[in-house]
Each structure stands twice: as C-alpha cells, then as structure tokens.
Structure 1
Amino acid sequence: MLVPLALLLVGLWEQQRGAGDWAEVRAEHDRLVRIVADLEARTPRDGRPDFRLQFRYDGQLYGGPYAVVKAHEARDRMDTLATVMEWRRRLPPVAIAGGAVAAGLSLLVLIAGAALGWRGRRSRDALVRGFSLVRRILPAALAVQILATTAGFVAVVVFEAGILVRGGVSGEGMKLLAVAAVAVGGTVLAAAGALVGLRRALDAFEPDPLPILGRPISPAEAPGLWRLVEGLAARIGALKPEAVVVGLTDGFFVTAGPAELEPGGARLSGRILHVPLAQLALLRGDETAAIVAHELAHYAGGDTAYSQRFLPIYVGVGRSLDAVAARQSSALGPLGPALHLGLFVMERFHLAVRHWSRQREFAADAVGAGTVSAEAASRALLRSGAVAPRIAETLEAAAAAPHAAPADLVAAMLDRAAARGLDDPAIHLEAEQAHPTDTHPPTRERIAALGQTIDANLLTAAGVTPPPHALGQLAAYFADPAGLCRAATADFLDAVRARDAAFRAELEATAAGVGTGEQVLRANDRTRGLVLVMAGGLFAAVALGVAVFGIPGMLPREVGVILVAALALAVVMGGAGAFVLSRGEPVILVLRAEGLTVPGLDRPIAWDDIADLDMTATYTGIVTRILLPPAAPWPQRLPGHHAVKLDAKRRIVTLPLPLPHKLTPQGFADLIGTYRAAAQARRILADKAVRSEAEPA
C-alpha cells in the first residue's frame, strides 16, 4: 500500500508544481512574443542598424540587429520549453491514476485475501473454491497492479526529469537525464518480463507423479497385511486402498494421486497405501493397527482428494509470485507492491491449509486410537520417533557402501536396534513426523489431543528394545517375509546404484565441460577505442565546421571558445581512442581446468583453493573478490599491477576487471561457475576412485 499511496501523493504534489511551472513559462513566452513584435516593428525598413534597439536576457544586454536575433532565439527556445511544460503537466494525472488504481487494488486484494483465509479456516470446500478463484484472478490483479504502479513511477520520473530542460541541459543535467532514462528503461523492461511470466503462470498444471521407492504387494503375497487393512477400512468406514506398496525408506502414508515406483519406473494411480517393512517388525501389533487406521482415516475424510485439489492452486499462485520476483531486482521498486500483495495472499493460504492439516491429523489420530486405544496410538507416535534413527543409520551405511550392504536390510535394522537400543522417545516430542505430501503437528501436541499424559511409563513402553524374535512378526503379514525383505533390499540397492551412476555421469559431463585447454579472456577495449576515436572525429568535424563557417549570431570571442573546446575534445578523445586501440585487447584472465591465472599475480589460483567468490557488476566492468583459506598459497602482486588488491589479513584477493570480450556480466559469472563446478566434479570423482580402489572386488 505504501508505494502506491506515495505515487498518489507525489502525483498530487507534482500536479500543483506542473500547473505553476506551465503558467510561469507560458507567461514568459507571451512576454517574449510581445518583445519580438515590438523590436520588429521598430527595426528600420531600409536595413540600417539601429543601436537604440536593445534586448536584455539572462543578465546580458544585446543591441542593434543582434538584439532582434537574440530575442528571436529566446522566443523560439521558450516556445519549445512551453511545449515541454504542456506535456509535462499531463504526467501528474497519470501518476495519480496509477497510484490510486494500485492502492485501491491492493486494498481490495488484502480484504479479499483476509476474507478468503477466514472462510477457508471454517470450511475446506470454501478454502478450495476461494483459492481456486484466487488462482485465476491473482495473475490478472498482479498484472494490473504492475501496469498501474509502473505507469505512475515512469510518470513521476519523467516529470522530474523534465525540469532539467528548463534551465538548459548542462553536463550534470545530462548525467541526471541518463540516470532517469536507465531507471525508466529498466523498470519498463522488468515490468514487461513480469507480465510475460504472469501469462505463463496461467498455464494448466498437472502434478508430477509421486516417487515411491518400493514394490506393490498383492493379497496373495501379503494375506495378513491385506486382512488388517481391509478390516480396519471396514471398521472405520473408509475406502480401502487399491494398491499397497512396501518399501524401506519412507514411513506409513497414503496418496490418491499418480505415483511412480523406483526402481523400474512402474506407474500406479488411485488410492495407494505405503507400508514400511522395518516398522512392521519394530512396532507392536496394536501400534501398527493405530497407524494404519490413522492413514485410512484420510480416505474416510476425503483428505487425499482434498490434497490433490489444492496442490494445483498452490503451484499456480506460486508460479505467479515467481514471475514477479524474478524481475523485481531490475525494477527499482514498482514491482514490490505486486510481489508483497501476492505474498500476503499466499500467507493467508498457508494459514488456512495449516489449520486444516492440523485438524485432519488430529481427527485421523482419534480414528486410529478408536480402533485400539489412546495409549496404543500415543505409544505408536513415540515409538515411531524412537526407531527412526536406527532405520536411517542402516540405510545411510548401505547407501554409502552398497557393495558391502547385507542382503537383508530389515534384519540389519533390527540387529542395529537390538545392539544399540532405541532413541529416548522424549527427545522426539517436538518433532513433526516426515510425510511426502503433508505436514504433521508436533508429537507432543498429538498425544495431548488424544488425552494422554506423557509419563515415565508411556516413554518406557515406547522405548523398549525390540526382542530377538521381532523379525518373526513379519510372518503375520506376508507369505514369504524373508524373500520380500531381500527383494526390498535389492530394490533399495538398485536405486542407490542407479542414482550413483546418474550422479557420476553428471559429474563426468561437468568435468569434461571445460576441457583440458586454456581459455584466455581479453578486455573488450576495441569497442571502447573505436567509440573514442569516432567521438574525437566528430568533435574534429565540429571544430572544422566552426572554423570554416562560423556560428551566425555569436560574437567572435564566443566562437573562438567553442572552436578551442571542440579541438581540445577532439585531441583528447581521439588520442585516448588511438592509445586504447594500440594496446589491442589485453589479457585479463586465463582459465584452466586446474585454476585461474591473473596478470599481475606471481602464481595461479587453484579452483580447489577458493573458499568463496563473489562478483559485483560496475560501470567499468566486474569486481571479483576471491577468498582463500589459510592453508592455500598466498599470491604476491607483481610490480606495476596496482589494480589487483591483496588483503592478506582477511585472505581476500580483489580483481577489478573490465568486461571480457564477447561476454555479458552474467555470461562471465556463468563461465567462472562452470570452471569451479568442473573442479569440484573432478575432486569428487577422484575421491570416489580412491574409495573404489579400497573396496574389495
């Protein structure tokens, strides 16, 4: 609201100033018209000079025919200035309208967003309907906001720049006009880019399939598990899942959208229940029943369908904000109101979604507790947190060394839990259980909602080390538990190897991206030299024209000053351009696979020795700052290269570089990033090679 209101107020202020400036210039124009008419009427018709004719302007007194000439010049200049002031006074209404539209739209969206958020916290259907409307309307509202704010901003800047014309454009005035032109141009381009991005944000969104590392299990392969699931679904009045997937990596969860199984890429759709094998062995029967009933309760309450409905809304609103945020840094502020407006709407959306996420988790917990007991459901929550570290440790060790992983990771998880014990459940009370699509309230709040007190007895029961026969519990669920555990282990290790292979291929491609040769970056001095030479030639032509033809209406002394100034500029600029061209295009950096060489330093800087690097674009080029760690060799500056700055205390090397030939600032930054990524890729590949040599065949 502040930026649009500021534009509105500035527009009102400029409207008063614009009217006053126009009236003042118009009055001066009319006065000069009368003076010119009077001087022309008094000028002798026979062409004889009459030095009684006088004209005073800008502190100078002109007499005779020169008075008439200068009066004509002043009138013509004031005529042009009056036209400029006429157009200038039309700009404040644009700023006022732009600020008013943007402020009104902001207020409307703020009220609508708050109202939709309030309604959304009272009805999930109202939440989906309201924010479905937001997804369609918000991009258009942001577009209007951007157009109005940009128009107001441009009008304000152009109005203020117009006052520079009144006093004559000096060197300082030219700089200010250039700054105004850059500000207006950058803002207009950024606004246009944001509008294009908003148009693309309206495109239809189809959610990607949910990746699940696991395999589907049929009723014949898991008769006990399917009986448990179907019995609980019938008991709580929920739809039973159309597919059950077992795996090692995730916990219990349900989904109703498309899914893609790893490894292999098999596609599933419809209602899917994921069951983790390790938890089936590590949890008690009533704990498992409470958790499965909790997940099936999401089907009974339509939670999964609801999640699939609001996901496209969430992504659509997010796309709109991304389109504005991507251009905000180039717009000097006018895109800020649109971005903050969208963020406010998204915040209302988050609060409503979080409200229903908490409510549906508490409701599902109550359903799960109703199938067994509140104590068993609370124990299941605590025990899930206590067993999770042992499972994660086993999987991490297998992923780090798949060649040495056991054939049955479920048995390995149980062995690790038996040997080390489980975590103290109390340290996981504030944790929010992981879930691939939804959020959960902290465990402490979920147990409190079940009416249970977290006492020593409950914590002790949840943290009991699994007995040696825990693996045998799987026989109650599966026809061939040992074979299924080995198959799930093979799936996990195959996925790990596939990801490692993809990662290695990416590393090799990155390392090979810079090749083994060197890339020499040269300063883009040729263009600058040619511009200076052409400017010098232009001033030389001006000097020649003044010397040959003179300047009508000016005194010889003034013509001489202009001639000397033009000749001086021609010599200075032409000489500077010739000097720049004579140097050619000097080398500013040499990039190699192992490091970069800087003219002016006595040694190269290895990519692996760079702890951090940042770049800042300036008017003259790019300032690059390199941070070297204490263990890295410290370079020394060669004589005659004072541009390179060394800060040995802070270990920073500063390189003020001109823009390299045929590279934009972003292109230069991307090139440096490519070389650093290639060096990092080679280092990772070398580490992997060392580890592989130490591995048994």
Structure 2
Amino acid sequence: MLLPLALLLLGLWERQRGADDRAEFAAEHERLARVVADLEARTPRDGRPDFRLQFRHDGRNYGGSLAVVKAREARDGAGTLVAVMEWRRWLPPVAIAGGGIAAGLSLLVLLAGASLGRLGRGSRDALVRGFSLVRRLLPAALAVQILAATVAFVAVVVFEAGLLVQGGLSGDGMKLLGIAAVAVGATLLAAGGALLGLRRALGAFEPDPLPILGRPIAPAEAPGLWRLVEGLAERMGALKPEAVVVGLTDGFFVTAGPAVLEPGGARLSGRILYLPLPHLALMRGDEVAAIIAHELAHYAGGDTAYSQRFLPIYAGVGRSLDAVAARERGALGLLGPSLRLGRFVMERFHLAVRHWSRVREFAADAAGARVTSTEAAARALLRSGAVSTRIAETLAAAAEAPDAAPPDLVAASLDRAVARGLDDPALHLEAEQAHPTDTHPPTRERVAALGQALDPDLLAAAGLTPPPHALGQLAAYFADPAGLCRAASADFLGAVRERDAAFRAHLEARAAEVGTEERVLRANYRPRGLVLAVAGGLFAVAALGIAVFGIPGILPREATVVLATALGIAVLMGGAGAFVLSRGEPVILVLRPEGLAAPGLDRTIAWDDIADLDLTGSQSGLVMRVLLPPAVPWPERRPGRPAAKLDPGRRIVTLPLPMPRGMNPQGFADLVATYQAAAQARSILAGNAAAVPASEPA
C-alpha cells in the first residue's frame, strides 16, 4: 500500500502547489499587463523613440520602443504560463483519485484475502467458494489497481513536467522533459501489457492435463489387482476407480481430472488410480492394501472432487499473477504493489489448502488402517520411504545410460534392494511423500496420528530386506507380470531416450548458431572521423571567407583574431578527423568458436575458462569484464596494442571497447551470449560422446 499512498500524498501536495503556482503566475500576468498598458500610454504618437520608456525583465533593461516590445512578449509569455498552470490544476485531483483507488483496493483485497483464507480453514466448501470469488474478482481488482496507479503516476510526472515551460525549455529542460516522456511511455507500455495479460488470463483458467508416465491396465490384464481394489472400495464405501494406471515412477496417487499418458499421448479422464510397479514388488501385501485403501479414501472423502474444483481456480489466479510479473520490471515499480497483493492472497489460501491437505491425509491414513490394521498402515508409510531410495537409484542409473540398462527395471530394483538392503526407515521420518497434486504431512506425524509407536520392532519390520523371490508376488496382481514389467521398463527407457534426443537436438541447434568461422568485430570510427573532417572543412571555408572579404563592422585587429581562431579550429578538427579516418576500422575483438581474442592480449580466452562475463556501457562504448578461475592460464598484455586492464589478484580482465560497427549494445551482448551458449553446448555434446563408449562395457 505504500506506493499508492505515496501517490495520493504527492497528489495532495501538488494540489496546493498547483494553486499557489497559478496564483503567482496570474499575479505576474496582471502586473505585466499593467506595465504594458502604462508603456503604451506613454509611447509618443508620432513614432519618435522615447528612451524614458524603460522595462526590466530577467535581469536586463530595455529602453524606447524595444521596452514596449519586450514587455508585450513578457506579458504574452506570462499568459501562456497562466494557461499551463490552469490545466495543471486538474492533474493533482487525478493523482489523488488514482492513488486513493489503488490504496483502497489494496486494503480491501488484503482484508478480503485474510478473511476468506481464515474462513477456508474452517470449511473446504468455504475455501472453494472463497477462492472462486477471488478468481473472478482478483484479476479485475488488479487491473483497476494497475490502471489507477498508472494514471496517478502519469498525472504526477506530467504535473512536474509542466514547470519546465517556465524556463523556456532550455537544454537541461529538454533533457528532463525527455526523461519524463520515457518514464511515462515505459510505464504505459508495461501497464498496457499487464492489462492485456490479465484479460487473457481471465479466460484461461483450465488446468493442464496431468502427465503420467504409465499404461492403463484392464481387469483382464490384472484380475487380482482389480479384485483387491474393488473389494477395498466396497468395504470403505468409496467410489471405484474408472481406470488403473501402472508405471515405474512416482508413488501411489489418485486423480479425478484429465490426464495424458506417456509415451503415446493417450488421454484419460475420470477417477484414475496410479500404482508404481517397483513398490508393488518390494512391499508386502498388507502394506500395498493399506496404501491403496488410503488412496481410495480420497474418493470417499470427496478429496479428488475438491481438487478438481480447486485446481482450475488455482490455475486461473496463478496465470493472472504471471501476467503481472511478466511486465513488472519495465513499469518503474508501479506493478509491484499489485503483484505483491496477489501473492499475499495466494499465500493466505496456501495456508488453508495445506491445512485441509493435512487433515485429509490423516483421515485417509485412518481409513486405510480400518480395512487392514494400524500396524500395516504405519509399516506401509515407513517402508514406502525405505524402498524409494533403491528404486530411485535404479531408475537414475538407467536414465544415465539407457542403452546399457536392463530390460526389466522392476527386477533390477529388487536385485539392488537385495544386494544393498533398504534404507533405514528412521532416515525418512521427516520426509513428505511426493504427490503430483497434493501435499503430505511428514511421515513421523502420520504414524503418530495412527496411534502407533515408533518402536524398534516396527522400524525393523519396515526396513526388512525383501527376499529374492519377492517379484513372484506380482503374479497375485497381474496375468503376465514379467511382460508388464518389461513393457513398463521399455516405456520408461523410451521416455528417457526421447528426452535425451530432444536435449541433444537443442544442444546441436545452439552449437549450430555459431559456425566454424571466427567473427571479427571492428570499431566504427568512420562516422566520427567524417564529422570532424567536415567540421574542419567548414571552419576552413569560413577562414577563407574572412581572409578574402573580411568581417564588416569590426576592426582589422579583431578580424585577424577571428581568422586565426577559425584557422586553428579548422586545423585541429580537420587533423583529428584525418587521424581518426587513418585508423580505418581496427579490430577490437575476435569471437571464435573456442573463445574470444582481444588485440591487447597475448592469448585467446577459452569460453569454457570464463567463470563470469559482464558488459557495461561507457562514454566511449562498452567495457567488458572477464573473470577467470585460478586454474586458468593468465593472459599477458601485448605492447603497442589497445589497452587491456589486468588484475591478477582478483583474476579480472577488463577490456574497454568502442561500439562495434553496425551493432548496438544489446546486439553485441546477445552475440557474445550466443557464442558462450554454443561453446557450452559443444562441451556437453563432447562429454556425452565420450561417456557413451565408457558405458558400453557395463
């Protein structure tokens, strides 16, 4: 609220100043009008000059008929200022209204967000209703606040710029007026972009489909699994899933929204239960049943329906804030209050969402314990964390070298677990189990909420290494467990290869942006030299004219001084222009695929050796600073070459550079960044190529 209040207070201050300025200039205009009337009354009718007529203005005295002329000019100028001050009087009320509206909206949204968030912690229905209201009203409130703050800011700046006409728009006044125009233009563009983004966000509040790496399993493919799921749903009074999807990644979860399956891009909707195959193999039957019952309890409690109502609203508000954030940097801080206001409201709802998420997770744990046992539910929570590390290690190794990965990653996970044992469950007590749409309390709190003590026997049972034949228990769920595990492994490895191929294509495209040829950048001295040479020639012509025709009305001695001065300037400027032109277009930097070379340095600085690089503007062009790590060879300065400042202590190489020919600062910075990115891409590609032969023997 500080910025809107500042605009409001500034408008109040300007209102008083505007009234005072108008009164001051009006009084001056009236005084000058009386002076003009007096001078005109005393002016001789026969047109003879009367030097008794005197007028003093801006520290200068005028006499005779010139006094009348200057007095009239001063009167007319004062009249213009009075007119300017008159329309300036309308700007402070605009600033006051804009700042007041923006501040009032800030206060209203702050109170509404806090109140609705508090109500949302008392009821999930109240949370959804409150957040639905926020989704509809917050973008509009932010739009009005942005518009009001922008109008207030423009009014303040234009009010202050109105004083510049008092000085007759001098050189400094024109600079200040230009700065004001740039500030107003940048603010209007940023605010307009934010408003357009908010308008688009209002109509785009549907969430993206949930991506799932897995495949659907029909009852004929998994008769035992479907019997277990349907039996648990009947005992709990929960809705049955409409689709069961199995895969290798993630944990157990349910969703009731749109989903897209990879690979293939098949789309599902409705109630979906996802089960990870490695967990089914490494966990006991009662543990699997407890976790499935936990997930089905989300259907019984309406959690997935709640999520489906909530997620579109959440997506809409998030996109609205993204639209404001995208324009924040170019708005001179005017969009900051709106963005922080929206984030505050989102934070209030986050707290309410986390509250209900914890409540529903505890309730789902209790529901799973009722249809199995408290001990099985607690052991399932602990064992899930204990097996997850071995599964993650197996999948990470396969993702690192997919061509050398085993065809059955579920069996590989079991082999790794048998060989290394499981993690100590006590190491995962503070972990919050991963879930694609909801949050979970730490495992310690969930076990405690079940009323189960974390004794050594429970921890030992949860961390017990599975037997080598544990893979056989998948036969109780699936008709062809081995074929399903291989198919799921192929899906995972195919997704990894597709990801790697996309990343490699991206790297190759970045590397291809820079060819094998070097890019030579040259200084753009020619325009400067031409300007100096032409100016020197003009002074030489002027000197010649003085020498031939003289200067009427001045003494010969004074004409000689002027002639000598003109000749001196002609020689200096012409000589400087000739010198600049004689330099041609010297090389200032050479960009090569492997690094950058400067004429003042004795070696090329490899792109891979640069720890940091920054560019800043200077009066003569640009300044490039390159930070080199301690292990990199230090360059030396080449004598007789353009200056290069070397700081071995801080390992910084500073290169003053004139502006390259045909480029602006942003274009030059983009070019350097392109060469850096291409070098990094080639380095990664080379590293990947070297790693492939090394992985083949494994």
- State whether TM-score is above 0.5: yes
The offset of 1:432, in angstroms, is 0.8
1:393 aligns to 2:393 (yes or no): yes
2-side partners of 1:237 and 1:6: how far apart?
59
Relative distance call for 1:573 and 1:41 in structure 2 (3 A) is: farther
What is aligned with 2:146?
A: 146
Query: 3-state DSSP class of the match of 1:44?
Result: coil
Kept in 1, the 8 Å contact 2:206–2:315? The answer is no
1:25 aligns to 2:25 (yes or no): yes
Query: 3-state DSSP class of the match of 1:427?
Result: helix
Matching of residues 99-110 of structure 1 within 5 Å? 99-110=99-110
Q: Deviations along 1:172-229, whole A, 9 cap, x unmatched?
A: 4444333323222222222122222222222324433322222222222222111111
The offset of 1:491, in angstroms, is 2.3
What is aligned with 1:422?
A: 422
Relative distance call for 1:174 and 1:641 in structure 2 (3 A) is: farther
What is aligned with 2:192?
A: 192
1-side partners of 2:38 and 2:640: how far apart?
68
Query: 3-state DSSP class of the match of 1:515?
Result: coil
What is aligned with 1:125?
A: 125
1-side partners of 2:627 and 2:344: how far apart?
39
Relative distance call for 1:531 and 1:101 in structure 2 (3 A) is: farther
1:72 aligns to 2:80 (yes or no): no
Larger displacement relative to structure 2 (649-658 or 145-154): 649-658
Query: 3-state DSSP class of the match of 2:211?
Result: strand
Larger displacement relative to structure 2 (96-105 or 465-474): 465-474
1:161 aligns to 2:161 (yes or no): yes
Matching of residues 313-352 of structure 1 within 5 Å? 313-352=313-352
Query: 3-state DSSP class of the match of 2:431?
Result: coil
1-side partners of 2:374 and 2:573: how far apart?
87
What is aligned with 2:240?
A: 240
Kept in 1, the 8 Å contact 2:150–2:187? The answer is yes
What is aligned with 1:309?
A: 309
Q: Deviations along 1:11-62, whole A, 9 cap, x unmatched?
A: 1111111111111111011101110111111011112111211112233332
2-side partners of 1:160 and 1:542: how far apart?
44
1-side partners of 2:82 and 2:576: how far apart?
41
What is aligned with 1:223?
A: 223
What is aligned with 1:53?
A: 53
Larger displacement relative to structure 2 (668-677 or 143-152): 668-677
Letter in 2 for 1:329: R
Relative distance call for 1:636 and 1:207 in structure 2 (3 A) is: same
2-side partners of 1:48 and 1:417: how far apart?
117
Relative distance call for 1:437 and 1:470 in structure 2 (3 A) is: same
1-side partners of 2:278 and 2:210: how far apart?
21
Query: 3-state DSSP class of the match of 2:101?
Result: helix
1-side partners of 2:574 and 2:173: how far apart?
25
What is aligned with 1:548?
A: none
What is aligned with 1:513?
A: 513
Letter in 2 for 1:485: C
What is aligned with 1:490?
A: 490
Query: 3-state DSSP class of the match of 1:589?
Result: strand
Letter in 2 for 1:132: S
1:294 aligns to 2:297 (yes or no): no
What is aligned with 1:631?
A: 631
What is aligned with 2:412?
A: 412
2-side partners of 1:535 and 1:256: how far apart?
78
Q: Deviations along 1:487-540, whole A, 9 cap, x unmatched?
A: 222222222222222222222222212222233344566777889999999999
What is aligned with 1:455?
A: 455
% of aligned pairs identical? 78
1-side partners of 2:120 and 2:666: how far apart?
43
Matching of residues 196-275 of structure 1 within 5 Å? 196-275=196-275
The offset of 1:363, in angstroms, is 1.6
Query: 3-state DSSP class of the match of 1:330?
Result: helix
Relative distance call for 1:444 and 1:695 in structure 2 (3 A) is: closer
Kept in 1, the 8 Å contact 2:215–2:488? The answer is yes
2-side partners of 1:62 and 1:277: how far apart?
100
Query: 3-state DSSP class of the match of 1:189?
Result: helix
2-side partners of 1:305 and 1:580: how far apart?
75
Relative distance call for 1:309 and 1:588 in structure 2 (3 A) is: farther
What is aligned with 1:465?
A: 465
The offset of 1:667, in angstroms, is 4.0
Q: Deviations along 1:529-586, whole A, 9 cap, x unmatched?
A: 889999999999999xxxxxxxxxxxxxxxx9xx99x999x98999988977776665
2-side partners of 1:417 and 1:580: how far apart?
75
Kept in 1, the 8 Å contact 2:595–2:606? The answer is yes
Larger displacement relative to structure 2 (188-197 or 95-104): 188-197
2-side partners of 1:160 and 1:398: how far apart?
66
The offset of 1:603, in angstroms, is 2.2
1:44 aligns to 2:74 (yes or no): no
The offset of 1:642, in angstroms, is 6.2
The offset of 1:301, in angstroms, is 2.0
2-side partners of 1:232 and 1:301: how far apart?
15
Relative distance call for 1:20 and 1:304 in structure 2 (3 A) is: same
What is aligned with 1:557?
A: none
Letter in 2 for 1:265: G
Query: 3-state DSSP class of the match of 1:270?
Result: coil
Query: 3-state DSSP class of the match of 1:432?
Result: coil
1-side partners of 2:150 and 2:229: how far apart?
59
Relative distance call for 1:417 and 1:540 in structure 2 (3 A) is: farther
The offset of 1:410, in angstroms, is 1.7
Larger displacement relative to structure 2 (126-135 or 326-335): 126-135
What is aligned with 1:365?
A: 365
Relative distance call for 1:578 and 1:3 in structure 2 (3 A) is: farther
2-side partners of 1:386 and 1:444: how far apart?
14
1-side partners of 2:578 and 2:168: how far apart?
33
Relative distance call for 1:250 and 1:692 in structure 2 (3 A) is: same
Relative distance call for 1:631 and 1:185 in structure 2 (3 A) is: same
The offset of 1:650, in angstroms, is 1.8
Letter in 1 for 2:240: K
Kept in 1, the 8 Å contact 2:601–2:637? The answer is yes
Letter in 1 for 2:422: L
Relative distance call for 1:592 and 1:410 in structure 2 (3 A) is: same
2-side partners of 1:671 and 1:525: how far apart?
21
Larger displacement relative to structure 2 (669-678 or 519-528): 519-528
Letter in 1 for 2:652: I
Relative distance call for 1:194 and 1:584 in structure 2 (3 A) is: farther
The offset of 1:118, in angstroms, is 2.1
Kept in 1, the 8 Å contact 2:167–2:173? The answer is no
The offset of 1:612, in angstroms, is 2.3
What is aligned with 1:555?
A: none
What is aligned with 1:115?
A: 115
Relative distance call for 1:647 and 1:123 in structure 2 (3 A) is: same
Structure 2 unaligned runs (5+)?
544-558
Relative distance call for 1:91 and 1:696 in structure 2 (3 A) is: closer
Relative distance call for 1:496 and 1:664 in structure 2 (3 A) is: same
Larger displacement relative to structure 2 (685-694 or 384-393): 685-694
The offset of 1:626, in angstroms, is 2.3
Normalising by the residue count of structure 1, what TM-score does the alignment of the two structures yield? 0.89
The offset of 1:233, in angstroms, is 0.9
1:137 aligns to 2:137 (yes or no): yes
How many residues are matched? 679
What is aligned with 2:650?
A: 650
Letter in 2 for 1:515: G
What is aligned with 2:551?
A: none
Relative distance call for 1:318 and 1:631 in structure 2 (3 A) is: same
2-side partners of 1:42 and 1:98: how far apart?
52
Kept in 1, the 8 Å contact 2:109–2:341? The answer is yes
Kept in 1, the 8 Å contact 2:590–2:596? The answer is yes
1-side partners of 2:531 and 2:263: how far apart?
61
Larger displacement relative to structure 2 (422-431 or 63-72): 63-72
Query: 3-state DSSP class of the match of 2:613?
Result: strand
Structure 1 unaligned runs (5+)?
544-559
2-side partners of 1:536 and 1:447: how far apart?
89
Q: Deviations along 1:217-253, whole A, 9 cap, x unmatched?
A: 2222222111111111111111111221222122111
What is aligned with 1:284?
A: 284
Larger displacement relative to structure 2 (33-42 or 609-618): 609-618
What is aligned with 1:556?
A: none
